[in-house]
Structure 1
């Protein structure tokens, strides 16, 4: 009798569900619009057209891969799963090799190393900033990339987070000179190739990432969250 009741209930619920709309036409129209806008932007600026196309491609990859730095740090504590954490570690390892190759090529050629101007001093502000930003990411439910991705999906809460993300960035940029003078500029600038050499710096970073990967994998097994 109970089985018949459950079967009848499931049938009623299935009949109440609205049939899903075919999304293929919308997808084709979206792709066509992206291409047409890219072609139009190309007549104005090749650089802007390139940014437009790569932005859409990266957005698609983020949405399908569900890539989010917040989730990679949050999921191990909430669910014990470290799949995304390990994916981020692998991404960091790949980018370490790629960017080091670019910078090393410039160094060997005697050219200014790109990105050296962004090597910021390490200070207490680095630690406090990381804690504040990490706390904000968890509360907002996404990092910068994750927030943008979910805004594209239509999440209202992430849209609100994006607004305050912009407000906070503008406020930080406005007061950055004061923070830099009082707290940041006095700290040491650490560029690993200057300390360990190019090969040593890459080897050290890859070794640390490998250790983190193994730890994350064993942590997931210990928590019983492995799939």
Structure 2
């Protein structure tokens, strides 16, 4: 789709406009701090969202792309980026808890129940990611880059959340209630769990290391490498892992599932698809609290979305990646089908790649490993059903 002429200038690197967007976002964080009487949950959420958007846009992190690159291009950089995120998040989180001798896990730690339904939900999420060409955060990033194909994908994902909430009484009673929620530090301690997890990640990295891309020395200016060219995935992954650890320090693990589920619960209850009382969600399960929505407010879960969009949009402007792109009818149908699987899978699993897998592994939860493993199996199955093209895509249009 041809870009309109009045937006053509946005498809060229524009660090000045990017800086203006970031200044506005930081000013918004300052405004929230003034309203809240200090730097608190909402101010942190806005800053965290901006950093989140920067990490995903600059590193183009995506679980589907990671496995696709390895299978088609024999390139392991994206997978190494995810391993870096897991390693940094676990090192900082478990290391800090062990150093300070914490008696228990943080209040909202992402220690999810491991039931027979979790692998199914994670598999559906992974398969939906292939069909929709990316997960929730990938499509938010695409929307920030001007890709209109993200609109039907995000809408269908939310409908999938509504379906997941509507099925929650059945899900909870049949699978979630009474399911164990293994927390590895309870058996091995913080440092023992950290050592075991880093050992597993090191073995994985060693197996992938020979497939890493061989790069010639980059003689471009530092500003160009940071603002214009994509970052190496391990660098972006390390930033994401540090952000997950910092979010634990501020009391709320990184992720968007809680707010999506809250709004989906309100809508499902309003149209009669779900009862007013949903077991487990009010008190919280797996670190996720989904209360009844009393009214739309500028909560930290809403603010982090705006921050993410602002950070990704600023990076798209800085790198010249912003472009209004349309989509075909077939692509729209794929986004709807994949989005439905994404939303229902994430709601049933009580999280996605960042909130369930990375934040879960960071705290030593078995649920994080289970989700990551079966979501990857779903991705691989989807790539088998829908083989990617042999010719690699241009960097401007990564698959999520």
SS in 1 for 2:31: helix
Partner of residue 195 from structure 2, selected from 203, 212, 222: 203
Q: Summarize deviations over 1:84-105 as a string: whole Å, max 9, x none.
A: 1011101101111111134335
Q: Aligned ranges for residues 101-116 of structure 1 at < 5 Å?
A: 101-104=95-98, 108-110=101-103, 112-115=104-107
CA contact (8 A) 1:86 1:213 kept: yes
C-alpha RMSD of the superposition: 2.8
Q: Aligned ranges for residues 178-189 of structure 1 at < 5 Å?
A: 178-189=170-181
Q: 1:191 to 1:198 in 2, by over 3 A?
A: same
CA radius of gyration, larger in: 1
Q: Aligned ranges for residues 1-227 of structure 1 at < 5 Å?
A: 23-45=14-36, 46-47=39-40, 48-104=42-98, 108-110=101-103, 112-115=104-107, 118-218=110-210, 220=211, 227=215
Q: 1:115 to 1:80 in 2, by over 3 A?
A: farther
Q: Which has the higher contact order (CA 8 A, sep 6+)?
A: 2
Deviates more, 1:117-126 or 1:24-33: 24-33
Shift of 1:21: 5.8
Q: 1:164 to 1:130 in 2, by over 3 A?
A: same
Give distance in 1, aligned partners of 2:67 and 2:89: 19
The alignment's TM-score, normalised by the length of structure 1, stands at 0.76
Q: 1:181 to 1:35 in 2, by over 3 A?
A: same
Deviates more, 1:66-75 or 1:147-156: 66-75
Shift of 1:202: 1.6
Aligned residues, how many? 204
- Residue of structure 1 equivalent to 2:322: none
CA contact (8 A) 1:141 1:158 kept: no
CA contact (8 A) 1:81 1:226 kept: no
SS in 2 for 1:119: coil
